[in-house]
A and B are shown apart, each in its own frame.
Chain A
Amino acid sequence: MILASLGFQTISDAVASGAIYALMAVGIGLVFGVLRLVNFAYGQLVMAGAYTLAFTSTWPVAASIATCFAVVVALSLAMEVSVFRPLRDQSPAVMLVTTFAIAFLLQAIALIVDLRNDTLGEVVFSSIGSLNEAVTVGGVNIRKVTIVAVGVAAFSLLVIALLLGRTTIGLHTRAAANDFRTARLLGVRANRVITFAVVVSGLLAAAVAVLLVVANPLVTPEFALHDTIIVLVGVVVGGIDRLWTATLGGFAIGFASGIINGLLPTDQSVYLPSVLFGAVILVLLLRPGGLFAWGRPTSVERV
């Protein structure tokens, strides 16, 4: 079997990156559900969190992580109030361009902040980095971050599932994701539902920031940009209309790119982006609802 020949290290790394991408997919999918908005600037939220971690490296780890969560959630809410709210009635295309502009804005601000000391990139040197060390479990080495990532992802998904399934706000969110106008007619408050989704997606972005800096402690303005593009691809391929298909898509693409990176030597994976994006176009054309979306009408229009 191919998997067996890969070695446990590659598989566990692939699972970790799948778990992290799944978290980002939930963050993007939740906001899409209520706002019908694909947030191109999601990676910049993660980037802001990573910078916060870098600047607070000298603090105790718990305080540093708490600040990271606070900053990212605040930024996420600020984005909602100042940009998404005024644009709620605009077409998806206008909203897409706007988040594109916000992404560039945040990235350019990060560049200015970063270049104050004339070197590009800030290093996270707090003890979060020690998660990168390996522990031996039953004769195989696993990096601690792999366990943490899988644990955090499983925990977050469970909490979100409970929130959506068992609470009033979760019920409102699901109703709004299904049909926003009817939900509003039935007494669902738009602002509350959207704020809920935006806060949860901010929390997830902060968690992703913590997990990503472990493997990659050098934070630059382009931090998480590449990951966000890959996750967006996964979300669309999986099926953006439903949260679970989107999450599955995120996990699948993280896992697949981990495996492919382990399988192929670097000089052969140069066309990997083309293959991935070609697959996206194919899925959009052939299964507009997503690979994992069965038996439901989709919101993707065709002419």
Chain B
Amino acid sequence: MTRYLQAAVQLLGPVALVVAVGLMSTTVSDANKIYFLSALVSVAIVVSIYVFVGNSGVLSFGQISFVAVGAFAAGVMTVPLESKKGVLTELFPLLRDHTIGNVPSLLLAAALGGVFALIVGLPLMRLSGLAAGIATFALLEITHNVLQQWTKIGPGATTLSLVPDTTGALQATVGAVIAIAVALAYQWSRLGRQLRASREDPAAARAIGVHVHRQRLWAFVLSGALAGFAGALYVHLLGSITTEQVYLELTFLTLAMLVVGGLNSLWGAVVGALVVSGLDSFLGEAEQGVDVGFNVDLPTGTRLVILAAIMAVVLVLRPSGLTGGREVRLPRIGRRRNAAPAQAEG
């Protein structure tokens, strides 16, 4: 019974947080609404990264590639037909002459992200440690380079605009909840547990019959699909996008969110995404000058200084993040700490 209760708490904790942020976004002014919605989209992106990095323990700088692919696929396919023929003239005819709706574009982005992850993951998942970090970074560079130059599949180096901004409070909240639910379902599944075992001890996991390469590949593909989906949410939130927006800075920000929250738990990913993106929004406003009792006006660039400093400090002092790598748990009422080691894990 306690097990099911803990499981329910693990799911409901992050979901409640996300829904609360979604509800809050409907009460604030239109100018501030974007901050709440982008926090929710950040949750979706960070959860997608967590599915691979958190469960496998393999570092990847490349997950934003899938966000980029999802964002541009969903963006290009939803620009209204009449404007598309005028603006994106160099597209392949198939892409130029068709336009799909909002929900199909989300699904398309997820599917493309997953397929792309499968293709690159097949060879890349053989690597681990440092080599994996460098190779996934190379993947990000290649994706960025191709998206920026190949005008037959997208806008190239120019801004893709006129994307319908369908990511409102409802779509952002539901999107984040879907990402969380999928991530938890995977984490509880047989596959997820095998991968987490290999994270703790690759040799022991292999000895009990875990196929490490295959398990990592599954997580990579799922992560790619969720990242593509999150990218579609992102482009529908912004309404316009350039390749620079889904490149190094977003990679850095989302990694900061994951690291600050705690790499090893979904709760950490969600908390980190909300905390860091809240801070990011506040600092972004403060660079323009904001009134919080007294006037705060920071010089341009302070935002990144503070975020980078927080990330470095958390990594140095508390490498397991704010949540310490734990999932949400019910507070233990009436039980002494360390009372029963057997019950320590729910």
Residues of B within 8 A of A107 (CB): 304
**What 0/1 pattern do residues 249 to 290 of A give for CB contact below 8 A with B?**
000000000000000000000110110011011001100100
In the complex, whether B58 has a CB less than 8 A from a CB of chain A is yes
Q: Flag whether B308 is at the interface (Cβ < 8 A).
A: yes
Which of A91, A96, A100 has the most chain B CB within a 10 Å cutoff?
A100
Shortest distance from the beta carbon of B69 to any chain A beta carbon, whole Å: 15
Q: Is B202 an interface residue (CB 8 A)?
A: yes
How many residues on the B side are at the interface (Cβ–Cβ under 8 A)? 47
* B:306-346 near A, CB below 8 Å: 307-309, 311-312, 315-317, 319
A38 at the interface (CB under 8 A from B): yes
**Are A101 and B315 within 8 A (Cβ)?**
yes
Task: Name the contact of A101 in the complex, choosing from B131, B146, B311 (C-beta under 8 A).
Answer: B311
Main secondary structure of the interface of B (DSSP, over half): helix
Report the minimum CB–CB distance from B212 to chain A (whole Å): 5
Check B128 against A83 for contact (C-beta < 8 Å).
Answer: no
B148 closest partner in A (C-beta):
A270
| Binding stretch for chain A, among B5-13, B168-176, B252-260 | B252-260
Contacts of A90 in B (CB 8 A): 319
Q: Is A62 an interface residue (CB 8 A)?
A: no
Q: How far is the CB of B232 from chain A (nearest CB, A)?
A: 24
Bound together, the chains give a CA A300 to CA B303 distance in angstroms of 36
CA distance A112 to B302 in the complex (A): 7
Complex Cα gap A303–B212 (Å): 7
Q: How far, in Å, is A282 (CB) from chain B's closest CB?
A: 9
The closest CB in chain B to the CB of A104 belongs to B308
A92 on interface, CB distance cutoff 8 Å: yes
Cα separation A93 to B319 with both chains bound (whole Å): 11
B300 touches A111 (CB 8 A): yes
Interface centre among A112, A277, A302 (most CB of B within 10 A): A277
Cα A285 to Cα B59 with chains together (Å): 16
**Which of A112, A274, A285, A300 sits near B123, CB closer than 8 Å?**
A285
In the complex, A38→B129 CA distance in Å?
Answer: 11
**A15, chain B: closest CB distance, angstroms:** 26
A97-B145 Cα distance, complex, nearest whole Å: 23
Q: Closest residue to A98 on the B side, CB-wise?
A: B315
B86 at the interface (CB under 8 A from A): no
Query: Which of A93, A270, A281 is the one whose CB lies under 8 Å from B129?
Result: A93
Q: Is B284 an interface residue (CB 8 A)?
A: no
Contacts of A82 in B (CB 8 A): 316
B107 within 8 A of A: no
- If A274-B142, A303-B202 touch, does A236 touch B308 (CB 8 Å cutoff)? no
Residues of chain B within 8 A of A240, CB atoms compared:
130
Given A83-B316, A112-B300, are A278 and B134 also a contact pair (CB < 8 Å)? no
Q: Is A139 interfacial (CB 8 A cutoff)?
A: no
List residues of chain A with CB within 8 A of the CB of B317.
86
Residues of A within 8 A of B146 (CB): 271, 274
Q: Is B16 an interface residue (CB 8 A)?
A: no
Residue of A nearest to B314 (CB): A101
A111, B298: Cα distance in complex, Å: 13
Within 8 A of A (CB), among B288-307: 299-305, 307
Q: Provide the residues of chain A in CB contact with B59, threshold 8 Å.
A: 93, 96-97
Within 8 A of B (CB), among A138-158: none
Which B residues are CB-close (under 8 A) to A284? 127, 131, 134-135
Q: Do A270 and B149 touch (CB < 8 A)? A: yes
In the complex the two chains form, what is the Cα distance from A88 to B127 in whole Å? 22
Q: How far is the CB of A176 from chain B (nearest CB, A)?
A: 18
* Residue pair A274, B145 in contact (C-beta under 8 Å): yes
Flag if A97 contacts B255 (CB, 8 Å). yes
A47-106: which have CB < 8 Å to B?
A: 82-83, 86-87, 90-94, 96-98, 100-102, 104-105
Q: How far is the CB of A89 from chain B (nearest CB, A)?
A: 10
- What CA separation (Å) do A285 and B130 show in the bound complex? 13
- Please give the distance in Å from A32's CB to the nearest CB on chain B: 9
Is the Cβ of A112 less than 8 Å from the Cβ of B311? no
- In the A-B complex, the 9 residue pairs with the closest CB atoms: A108-B304, A105-B308, A93-B59, A111-B301, A277-B138, A112-B301, A101-B311, A108-B305, A104-B308
Listed in ascending order, the chain A residues whose CB lies under 8 Å from chain B are 36, 38, 82-83, 86-87, 90-94, 96-98, 100-102, 104-105, 107-109, 111-112, 115-116, 229, 232-233, 236, 240, 270-271, 273-274, 277-278, 280-281, 284-285, 288, 300-303
Q: List 15 A-B contacts (CB under 8 A).
A: A36-B130, A86-B317, A93-B133, A94-B315, A98-B315, A101-B308, A101-B312, A104-B304, A104-B307, A271-B145, A278-B138, A278-B142, A281-B135, A285-B123, A285-B135
